[in-house]
Structure 1
Amino acid sequence: MSRWTGRWIETWDPEDERFWNEGGGRRTALRNLVFSVLSEHIGFSIWSLWSVMVLFMGPEYHVDPAGKFFLVAMPTLVGGVLRVPYTFAVAVFGGRNWTIVSAALLLVPTVTAAVVMHPGVSYGTLMVVAALTGVGGGNFASSMTNINAFYPLREKGWALGLNAGGGNLGVAAIQLVTLLVIATAGAGHPRVVLAVYIPLIVVAAVLSALFMDNLSPVKNDTGAAVDAAKDPHTWIMALLYIGTFGSFIGYSFAFGLVLQNQFGRTPLHAAYLTFIGPLLGSLIRPLGGRLADRFGGGRITLWNFLAMAAATGVVITASVHESLGLFLPGFIALFVLSGLGNGSVYKMIPGIFQKKAEASGLAGEAAAAHARRLSGASMGLIGAVGALGGVGINLAFRESFLNTADGTPAFVTFLGYYAVCFAVTWAVYLRRPARARSAGEQATPTASAAYAEV
């Protein structure tokens, strides 16, 4: 596809408030945001496809619980890896053009799954088809990179949170569709789910072609990617994003299997419950971005990890005592908190690079341009690593159920990780330097305390 195919906007300056409010900037950005959310939403649904397909896989498929956890981990792995090239595809092809292509690619795993999903299919075939659904995970990176370019720094937390939250809702949506299918047609009709999504994919691609735009000023900068990869904050934020988004996507894929294998729920009973956590976690993500806009992403992220650790403690207690009544509110709280943290962590990324630009002596548009350059490049890396956290979640559950037949050891591991994230957030972004405390002076922009506002 040619670099100059499709609808292109040649000049774009969202930091100019007059352009934003009176020149049509806000209206254009909102239009692109709406259709970006639609495409990303369906992408997340397809990425989550095998978290619901396993609910249709009874004994006749001859796949044990450990095999199912491995099966749902495969899309997470492929999706995480694809997030890096998907990030750069926006500048190569244009945000609109790549949204059309990435939406159309979702037809590959859905049509393939419709062909192979039947008793007697080999486990290797299932693994390959599950891997294909990773293309849905790549959509997130290109969508976030595209919307990041449309919005000014002062509104990125809300816009990115809305974009990601609307996309994340795709997980809950496909689980609700599955509930309706199992409740009405029964657990022997997985193709009905696919029949719902294939036409929706076509609709998303067509609407993206009709209503979205490409931004000419958005260009790939190999140097920016290298600089972002060298910057320690990229990897620190990736560590934190594993704790939030890795938890969200990993728990979304594993929830139904945990309910079936630890608490003996039937596929129908599991389907009644699995959509609740992803639904609430997705809906609250924009609020996490909004709170971060107002109070600082560092502060919101810090207390969010503390709350995630507390919720995990509740889940561990419930797991040990095999109490479904205690497990459900604790696990659903983890979904809500992971969604909130997703919004606050992603808000921090452009803010951190803005602070670093100002600390280096840049100001105004020069600082904003430098921050956009590095934050856009870092988002792809951070999103990819964060998604790979979902692989870790499912592999931890796999080992836990293999060795102890329940998820308690896995949850203990997750508790330890949240404790590490809490400590890192405080030490890097909120801890006030000793010299500033003793002298009573205000922290300089290069001091850790300055990042509390990001």
Structure 2
Amino acid sequence: MTAAARARRGGRWIERWDPEDEEFWQRTGRRTATRNLVFSILSEHVGFSVWSLWSVMVLFMGPEYGVDVAGKFFLAAVPTLVGAVVRVPYTFAVARFGGRNWTVVSALLLLVPSVAAAFVMHPGTSYATFVAVAALTGVGGGNFASSMTNINSYYPLRLKGWALGLNAGGGNLGVPVLQLVALLVIGTAGAAHPRYVLAVYIPLTVVAAVCSALFMDNLAPVRNDTGAAREAAKDRHTWIMSFLYIGTFGSFIGYSFAFGLVLQSQFGRTPLQAASLTFVGPLLGSLARPAGGRLADRLGGARVTLWTFLAMGAATGAVVGAAVAGSLPLFLAGFVALFVLGGAGNGSAYRMIPGIHHDRALAMGLRGEAAAAYGRRLSGAAMGLIGAVGALGGLGINLAFRQAFLTTGSGTPAFVSFLVFYAACSAVTWAVYLRRRPGRAAAGAPAGRAGDAGLPAHARG
């Protein structure tokens, strides 16, 4: 054993990890992976809650705060931008510092925006200060990238869709849980007490950090690989999948941040009325993410992703019709459907990423653990880039709503633009990953066939 390995052993480092070896997986791998998954979900859950903090803080901001509707949409958009940017370094921090070590650090960093919000959340604070503190909550968005990269290394290819979907779905639940906490505060103490929300999340953040330190592990075989990052950045499928992930995850996080404000602005709901409705969509969307990953494991990621985009287009059409007709029930039904479909699409799209690189390894002539290692190496790097670009979709959604309400007083023009985007995503998914060509296998086939997760057998990047 090397000196470095001996030094690492005291820091909960695992020196050998081979999840594709069935004997290893059944003997020790599954148990270890499950334990790390559970506490990864806890930390990511808190991270998502902090990231979406200003989606509920704006509900507490009455006329005495002096912030108009456009200003509130911008406050909700700022954390999305910062979260997207920090996802890239967070991805590579896992290999640099270790998954367990970085989970502890990233959880503790969440205390900064939470404590800062507790100090500034009162009438009389300048708008610039609100923007600065909202930007700090962007670090919560980075937790997703590091968590997904870490868990991707723990599971065999056949289980990645379910594991990644469960990890992300549990994290995504941080959004509706935060909104439920806000509803409880507004319903009991009133809209003048936003600090009560923070009184819940500051100690919960400490719990997440302590549990990560006590129960998670670092994987020594995972190494920082700048070559993998460069290779992933040059791969056209990284950017194609980034475009598609804008449509799935960008929709989920953008709608999560904007839903309450849209209800207040489009239908005149009070803060309590809005808070009583906003949690439903993110909750169902979060629960749908593991289901989307499981469906992708069975049916192929590209097929499920295409179905999702087509259905999202139909749901958006229903929302536009409801907005024009002024029908709140139909509007809610269409909006909630967008959350559910976006969540399922998140799971299926992310399932495509490791499969794409595993298929490429097979096309290069690699087999067994060599192919699995290549897939883990490239997919881990690609996930950070794809997650970062996808999160920018949330920024676009909030800015689109801001502009729509500024110019027309309605969110309808924004929804029309989203409908066009979903049509483009559907076309790209079909053209790149599902269109059959003579003598070539279609992508998105069930496991064990070429193109399992969405990479055509003929594609070489």
3-state SS of 1:369 partner: helix
In 2 relative to 1, CA 247–446 (structure 1 residues): closer, same or farther, beyond 3 Å?
closer
TM-score scaled by length of structure 1: 0.96
Does residue 67 (structure 1) correspond to residue 65 (structure 2)? The answer is: no
Kindly provide the amino acid, as one letter, of the partner of residue 50 in structure 1: W
Pairing of 1:260-409 with structure 2 (within 5 A) = 260-409=264-413
**Counterpart in 1 of 2:441?**
443
1:450 offset after TM fit, Å? 4.0
* Structure 2 CA distance for aligned equivalents of residues 29 and 19 of structure 1: 12
Aligned-partner residue type, residue 170 of structure 1:
G
User: How much has 1:446 moved relative to structure 2?
Assistant: 13
**CA–CA separation in structure 1 for the residues paired with 2:431 and 2:355:** 17
Return closer, same or farther for 1:271/1:353 CA change in 2, 3 Å cut-off: same
- Structure 1 residues without counterparts, runs of 5 or longer: 437-441
Q: Distance in 2 between matches of 1:134 and 1:9?
A: 31
Match of 1:100 in 2: 104
Cα offset, 1:343, TM superposition: 0.3
Residue 7 of structure 1, aligned match among 3, 12, 15 = 12
Give the letter aligned to residue 96 of structure 2.
Answer: V
Q: SS of 2:326's equivalent? A: coil
Q: CA deviation at 1:451?
A: 2.8
User: Where do 1:171-190 residues align within 5 Å?
Assistant: 171-190=175-194
Query: How far, CA to CA, are the matches of 2:270 and 2:424 in structure 1?
Result: 36
Q: Give, in whole Å, the separation in 2 of the partners of 1:290 and 1:35.
A: 21
- Matching residue of 2:86: 82
One-letter amino acid of the structure 2 residue matched with residue 68 of structure 1: K
Q: Paired residue for 2:169, among 159, 165, 169? A: 165
Q: In the alignment, residue 14 of structure 2 is paired with which amino acid?
A: I
Cα pair 2:303 2:444 within 8 Å, conserved: no
For normalisation by structure 2, the TM-score amounts to: 0.95
Identify if the C-alpha distance between structure 1 residues 125 and 14 changes in structure 2 by more than 3 Å, giving closer, same or farther.
same
Look up the equivalent residue of 1:221 and give its one-letter code: D
1:157–1:292 Cα contact (<8 Å) kept: yes
Is 1:237 the counterpart of 2:241? The answer is: yes
Aligned with 2:173: secondary structure? Answer: helix
The aligned counterpart of 1:19 is: 24
Q: Which amino acid aligns with 1:317?
A: G
In 1, Cα distance between equivalents of 2:187 and 2:451: 49
Mapped partners of 1:374, 1:285: distance in 2: 23
- On the 8 A contact 1:430/1:452 being kept in 2, the answer is no
How far apart in 1 are the matches of 2:308 and 2:216? 35
Report the residue type matching 2:97 in the other structure. F
Q: Secondary structure at the match of 2:451?
A: helix
* Conserved 8 A contact 2:161-2:294: yes
Matched, 1:29 2:33: yes
Q: Say if 1:396 and 1:410, in contact at 8 Å, map to a contact too.
A: yes
Q: Deviations over 1:58-92 (max 9, x none)?
A: 00011110011011000000000000000000011
Count of residue pairs the alignment pairs up: 445
2:250 maps to 1:246: yes
Q: Does the 8 Å contact 1:359/1:446 carry over to 2? A: no
Quick one: distance in 2 between partners of 1:194 and 1:291? Answer: 37
5+ long unaligned stretches in structure 2: 455-461
Q: Are 1:220 and 2:218 counterparts?
A: no
- Percentage of matched positions with identical amino acids: 76
Whether contact under 8 Å (1:72, 1:394) holds in the other structure is yes
Distance 1:69 1:446, change over 3 A: closer
Does the C-alpha gap of structure 1 residues 336 and 399 become closer, same or farther in structure 2, counting only changes over 3 Å? same
Contact kept, 8 Å, 1:298 with 1:451, in 2: the verdict is no
Change (3 A) 1:25 1:446: closer
* 1:260-303 alpha-carbon deviations (Å, 9 max, x no partner): 00100000000000000000000110000000000000100011
Contact 1:429 1:450 in 2 (8 A): no
1:95/1:146 contact within 8 Å kept: yes
Please provide the CA RMSD for this pair. Answer: 1.5
> Runs of 4 or more off by more than 3 Å in structure 1?
2-5, 444-447
1:439 maps to none
Distance 2:214 2:226 in 1: 31
